[in-house]
C-alpha cells in the first residue's frame, strides 16, 4: 500500500482575491474575539506576503509582525493601513435585529 503524504492546511494559501479575503474577514467579524480577528488578519497578511504588505502599507515588517502577533494589539490606524494596502476597506452596515 502506498504511503499517503499530507501537508498542513493553511488558509493563507486560498486567500488570493479581494472577494475571498473580504468573505474570510467578514466571517470573523460576525462573532469572533479580538484575538481571533487579529489571527485572521495575520493569515490574510501572510497571504499577501509581509514584505510586500509592509512596503505598500508604510508599516515596517517588524511592526506588522508585532501588531498581528500573538501578543499584538493593533491600533485602528494599523488595521486600516493594512487593509488599504490589500485593496480593502472597513464598512459599517445596520445589524439585523430580531
d(CA 63, CA 7): 29
What is the tens place of the pLDDT at every residue in 1-59? 789 998 899 999 999 998 999 999 999 988 889 999 999 999 999 998 999 999 999 99
How far lies 23's CA from each of 9, 27, 29, 44, 60, in Å?
18, 6, 10, 11, 26
Task: State how far the Cα of 85 lies from the Cα of 51, in Å rounded to an integer.
Answer: 12
CA distances from 48 to 20, 55, 57, 70, 96 (A): 13, 11, 12, 19, 32
Alpha-carbon torsion, ordered 58, 71, 87, 90, to 10 deg: -120
pLDDT of residue 93: 83
Q: Where are the domains of the chain?
A: 25-85
Model pTM greater than 0.85? no
Q: What is the CATH number of domain 25-85?
A: 1.10.260
| C-alpha span between 51 and 92 (Å, rounded) | 29
Where does the chain have alpha helices with state H? 18-31, 34-48, 50-57, 61-68, 76-85
Amino acid at each position: 500500500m502506498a504511503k499517503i503524504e499530507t501537508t498542513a492546511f493553511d488558509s493563507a494559501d486560498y486567500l488570493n482575491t479581494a472577494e475571498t479575503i473580504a468573505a474570510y474577514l467578514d466571517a470573523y467579524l460576525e462573532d469572533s474575539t479580538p484575538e481571533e480577528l487579529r489571527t485572521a488578519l495575520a493569515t490574510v497578511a501572510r497571504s499577501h506576503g509581509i514584505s510586500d504588505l509592509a512596503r505598500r502599507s508604510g508599516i515596517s515588517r517588524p511592526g506588522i509582525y508585532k501588531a498581528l502577533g500573538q501578543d499584538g494589539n493593533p491600533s485602528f490606524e494599523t488595521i486600516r493601513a493594512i487593509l488599504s494596502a490589500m485593496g480593502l476597506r472597513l464598512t459599517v452596515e445596520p445589524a439585523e435585529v430580531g
